[in-house]
Amino acid sequence: MKNNLKVLRAMRDWSQAELAGHLDVSRQAINAIETGKYDPSLPLAFKIARLFEQNIEDIFDDEFAGATNEQK
């Protein structure tokens, strides 16, 4: 899943390790999320959203949103 976590992290001038510390996960997990190789769980996604004071959908790109709207 695409996301702008890297941009948000850069805006706060945090390293991956620092962000990992804020979210109670490993640096490797942050790297995997940023590169889109790993989709975080819902609790972690909420945690990220709370940390950056944004909505989840503003951080994570819902690639299936278009398809769902078309079905409607």
Partner 1 sequence: MPYNPIAPSQDERSNIYFIQWFGLAASIGMLIDYFAILPTGFNQILYTMTSAILLVTLFSKRFDEHFYTLRDEACRWATGFIALCMIVASIFKIADLSEHLGFWSVTGELNLSDKDSFLFILPPQLMMILACIIFFATIQIKSLRA
Residues of this chain that bind partner 1 (CB under 8 A): 17, 20-21, 24-29, 31-33, 35, 37-38, 40-41, 44
Closest distance to partner 1 from the beta carbon of 38 (Å): 5
Q: Which two tokens stand for residue 9?
A: 């992290």
Is residue 29 within 8 Å of residue 20, measured between CB atoms? yes
Cα angle 30, 34, 40 (rounded to 5 degrees) comes to: 65
24 versus 63: smaller Cβ distance to partner 1: 24
Closest distance to partner 1 from the beta carbon of 26 (Å): 4
35 versus 54: smaller Cβ distance to partner 1: 35
| Cα(48)–Cα(56) distance, integer angstroms | 8
